[in-house]
Structure 1
Amino acid sequence: MKTIFVLITLLSFSVIQAQEQKEISSEISDVVVYLKGAQVTRTANISVGSGKSTLLFKGLTPRLNSNSLQVAAGNGITILSVNHSIDYLESQKSDALAQKLVNRRDELQDSISLNKNTRQIYIKEQEMLISNQSIGGQQTGVNVEQLIRATDFFRQRLTEIEKTLFENNRTTLEMQRRLDKINRQLNELNARDDQPTSTIKVTISTNRPVSAPVELTYTVHDARWQPFYDIRVKDTDEPVTLVYKAKVFQSTDENWHNVNLTLSTGNPTISNYKPELQPWFLYPAPVRMPEVMETMSIVEDDVELNEELVIEDKEEARPIRIRGVSSLGKQNVTTVQQQTTTAFEIQIPYTIPSDNQGYDVAVSDHQVKADFQYATVPKRSPHVYLMAHISDWSELNLLPGQANIYFDQTYQGKTVLNPYSSEDTLNLSVGRDPGIIMERELQKDFSSKSFFGNNAKETKAWKITMRNSKNTKATVMVEDQYPVSTNSDIKVELEENSGAKVNPVTGMLNWTLHLAPGETKKLRFIYTVRYPKEMNLIIE
């Protein structure tokens, strides 16, 4: 009787213990993506009785940072502990497409193995027939009828085997091609089998039965976003439209399905500790006397340069402040200015699979006033480029990134925005304009080369012709150059410059031409170089 009572007590205790642990099903609801890394928030609703309970969040990514775990619960719930562990027995669940491909891959692998085994059976049969071609005994022989029947049998059966082997080989190759395609697609989807998962064990305590929401937050490293831009110019009389976009990448082994997405300019992976200076003591280095060696050899490959490199800590990400009207609408994007970072809260849910592919997210756009001007460098290019000069670009506090340029709805190419430049004006090359024609030619009548004594003298004359074939006026900035001497034996003289702005230090020549519709203007600059005639100089 006593034994029965003990068993009942133990069973009751086991039931109570089992009721204390609950496996919680959670969904990813919010994700904050940083320039490097992301913060993931999972939500769940729980119902627990009074006393202690253990909540198990299973099937999470094994890539989460356990030091970043945070749990928030509703009123009446006290969180006692949070523990993280890796579960190697329970693999991650693949998405529907990846799982379908995995199943098809496994079927093809089984079919290929079966085909190969069947092929080996037919090959063995073929070898057996070939090795047993003799009929009759050595003394009895065989009559003609038996020989004909045996020959027909061997021919028919060997032919059937060859056809079967041929068909088997063709089928196997076709299945192998399909298997290769599926494997490539699985690699594209970043799908992997038998990956471990994380389990988060949360111990809570309540004074009464409670039904409340629970939030689980953690960070992952395998996610990032990078800015890129669309620069759209409709007409030179209208402002430039600067569209701010982002590409979001993630390979966290968790798909983000219809999540509330926030893009932050922060970077939790960089150090936030201010560096400290230590006393800098100088000591005289001991003088090392050279050793006298009978034979000295120099092996250049073994020579090393030992340097002490001092690297100043530099913050990788700067905060950005975006002004203007959102391309998603004011109600769909909220810009939050924080002390050191800026966050863009995208109100439209986004789905970002864990495949490390870039997914575009629209952030905002700006109407920016720009001064337009044409520019050309005749020495380097025969084309004339439309330039947009944005003087108040520093107010945007942009991040570096690539930009697609569109002029009048036509794609012109790519450029790079570098907001960290020290220049006051952001210069953007919008594209080539064939309506303004430029020609640069050497005027041989004004160019010469002569010798006098030990010296040589060369004169070069260049003519630049600009013609505006457009029906609107145009302002063109022309850049060219003449050589600059760094040797006292070489003398350079600029004889004619057609009113250019001359920089004698760099040799740069700049003209600003105002061309009316159909107008043509010509520029000419001439320079002379004197140098010792034994000196080999190439002068253009």
Structure 2
Amino acid sequence: MKYLLLSAAVLCASGAAAQAPAVFNAGLESATVFRVGAELTHKARVTLPKGTSQVVINNVANALDENSVQIATGPGITIMSATFARNFLNNEAKSPAYLKLEDSLKAAQRDLTRTRNLRTSEEGTMALLDKNQELKSGTAGTSVSELMKLAEYYKNKQVELKNSVALLLEKEAGQQKQVDRLAQQLKELADNPDASGGQLLLQVLANNAVTTDFAINYLTPNAHWTVYYDLRADNAADPLKIVYKANVMQGTGIDWKKVKLTLSTGNPSQNGTAPVMSAWFLRYALPVQMAMAKRQAYQNTIQSLESRAPMMAPPPPPVAADAAGGVDAYTTQNENQLSATFDIDIPYDIASNNKQHSVTLKEFTQPAKYKYYAVPKLDPDAFLMAEITEYERLNLLPGEANIIFENMYAGKSYIDPNATGDTLNLSVGRDKKVIVKREKITDVAGVKFFGNQKRQVFTYEIRVRNAKKEAINMLLKDQYPISTDKNMEVELLESSDAAVNTENGVLTWKLSIAPGETKKVRLSYSVKYPKDKVIANL
């Protein structure tokens, strides 16, 4: 087979320009979908005359990187040039979505025409009845009783016809709205450049007349996939089941029918050039720049302090799994130094509508160590956490996870396999049977003045009750503030033997709580500062 790597070229051969191009349709064989973009492989059966000719290949993606196009041909055939087109010779193939909508519009127009014809016929009958009534009423020798019967007949018939016309007018109005709506949708689809596929225009030289297959391969930006997970745990003693899934979306203008699908964690559109450092020259700032720099430094300090509280929240729950777990029977995972791929044996149909199409990649059953985690200052509930080790050798990606605990949907979590450390903590959900209460103790709090200084004392009690039938291990967190000014003094007065991080003020208690037991801890601290000052976030 001969392969040609094509750049953006222009059909310019004078001999071939005068010939009518031969048009062929390409069938999609396989798709490798990246996090951004996809690599598509087509096959087109092409008949060529001897010599130079122009060929139009229909049903390729509506956008592609011409530098990535490769075409494999048979012996004795040379691809002289190629370019991408959207509407060559006004003969662009209509997409399946366009054809379906076009058929719906034609059917709606036929229904409207039938209703309109029936309504016109009924109105004609009414006119004929009126004319006939005038003739009959003027006929000599007609008795009064006969006139009465005739009047009753015309009255009933007039009412019947008028009611029928009224219903037909109502039906006609609805059908007209349907026709207008479909016509507008068809116009929007026709005006949308991404609603249908594109074309490749080739200039080909053949040594002999031949019918052969062209294998066409290229990159398109109009497809991608995102990862998500299902996390299942029957109880806090069983292993954790992790179902690795993908949402595949594509808007290439061509529907993918029975396609061999491969998903890759790589990104071919990402810049592969390594960065190069240049000299770093220092210079003095202008007065205005100095003021802006000071203001920015102050804002950075405040943001840094405020960001410390979320550190205590349940960490974004990453996930890991044992490589020895059961991979889905129809999916093969391959890994290299830069990415991983999932080859799926089942052919897939994915419409060109940019809607999510769910694909199951693999399943793992992973032993996990469970514990409870609570930060009552930020959230009143206790969270069941699963500790998982040896995750770094898996090519998991950041993504949302659906949590199913004890056969019930428990909400959503998040997986971040890029977290550092040997252990990943995965939130399995909230457990209402572990009750956490945090209350301010007013009798040991208060404000005192010492000269020009003010001293405030804050005391909190946290109670944790285990309403479950088994003992639990609890990781409980709270915090005290950190001073940012030399005139502001913060002192930790009581911590109930918590592990104290003096850099961020976070206190951590590790509690073992028996069934039905309630444990209490206390946190107390004081803040001393000038009485003419106000602390905004105390």
> Same fold, TM exceeding 0.5?
yes
d(CA) in 2 for partners of 1:328, 1:459 = 58
Report the counterpart of residue 240 of structure 1 in structure 2. Answer: 240
Alignment partners' CA distance in 2, 1:185 and 1:535:
64
1:213 Cα deviation after fit: 4.0
User: In the alignment, is residue 374 of structure 1 matched against residue 372 of structure 2?
Assistant: yes
How far does residue 361 in structure 1 lie from its aligned partner after superposition?
1.3
Structure with max Cα Rg: 1
> Which AA in structure 1 matches 2:435?
I
Determine the structure 1 residue equivalent to 2:5: none
1:399 equivalent to 2:371? Answer no
* Cα distance, 1:65–1:475 mapped onto 2, change above 3 Å: same
1:1-400 equivalences under 5 Å are 23-45=23-45, 56-74=56-74, 79=79, 82=82, 84-85=84-85, 86-95=87-96, 99-108=99-108, 166-167=166-167, 169-179=169-179, 182=182, 197-201=198-202, 203-206=204-207, 213-275=213-275, 323-325=323-325, 327-329=327-329, 332-400=330-398
- Does the 8 Å contact 1:58/1:199 carry over to 2? yes
Matched residue, 1:426: 424
CA distance in 2, matches of 1:283, 1:473: 63
SS of the residue corresponding to residue 345 of structure 2 reads strand
The one of 488, 498, 501 aligned to 1:500 = 498
Code of the residue aligned with 2:257 in structure 1: it is H
Q: Structure 1's 337 and 494: CA in aligned 2 closer, same or farther, altered over 3 A? A: closer
Output the amino acid matched with 1:87. F
Query: 1:485: how far off?
Result: 2.8
Change (3 A) 1:224 1:384: same
Contact 2:382 2:434 (C-alpha < 8 Å) held by counterparts: yes
Alpha-carbon distance, 1:392 to partner: 2.7
Classify 1:438/1:455 alpha carbon distance in 2 versus 1 (closer, same or farther; 3 Å): same
CA distance in 1, matches of 2:407, 2:184: 37
Partners of 2:413 and 2:478 lie apart in 1 by 23
Deviations 1:427-452 (A, max 9, x none): 22211111212222222333333445
- Does the 8 Å contact 2:95/2:253 carry over to 1? no
Rounded to whole Å, the distance in 2 between the matches of 1:326 and 1:72 is 38
Structure 2: distance between partners of 1:242 and 1:184: 45
**How far apart, in 2, do the equivalents of 1:454 and 1:328 lie?**
71
RMSD: 4.9
- Structure 2 length normalisation: TM-score? 0.72
Partner of 1:438: 436
The change in CA–CA distance for 1:112 and 1:423 in structure 2 (over 3 A counts) is farther
1:470 is aligned, of 458, 468, 471, to 468
3-state SS, counterpart of residue 419 of structure 1: coil
CA deviation vs aligned residue, 1:431-481 (integer Å, no higher than 9, x gap): 111121222222233333344544444333322111112111100011112
Q: Which segments of 5 or more consecutive residues in structure 2 lack a partner in the other structure?
A: 1-17, 124-154, 288-319
Does the C-alpha gap of structure 1 residues 278 and 220 become closer, same or farther in structure 2, counting only changes over 3 Å? same
Structure 1: gaps (5+ residues): 1-17, 124-154, 288-319
1:321–1:484 distance in 2 versus 1, CA, 3 Å: closer
Give 1:116 shift: 9.4
Distance 1:525 1:468 in 2: 21
Which of 510, 515, 518 is 1:517 aligned to? 515
Task: Specify whether residues 393 and 249 from structure 1 end up closer, same or farther in structure 2 by C-alpha distance, changes over 3 A only.
Answer: same
Identity, in percent, stands at: 34
1:36-80 deviations in Å (ceiling 9; x for gaps):
221211124567787777655334444333333222134565555
Paired with 2:22 and 2:475, the residues of 1 have a C-alpha distance of 74
* 2: CA distance, partners of 1:522 / 1:69: 68
Deviation digits for residues 228-287 of structure 1, max 9, x if unmatched?
Answer: 222222333333222221111111111110011111223232333345566778999999
Flag the 1:323–1:185 CA change in 2: closer, same or farther, 3 A.
farther
Contact 2:58 2:197 in 1 (8 A): no
1:34–1:460 distance in 2 versus 1, CA, 3 Å: closer
Equivalent-residue separation in structure 1 for 2:218 and 2:275 (angstroms): 27
Name the TM-score, length of structure 1 as normaliser: 0.71
Letter in 1 for 2:446: S
Structure 1 residues 528, 178: CA separation in 2 closer, same or farther (over 3 Å shift)? same
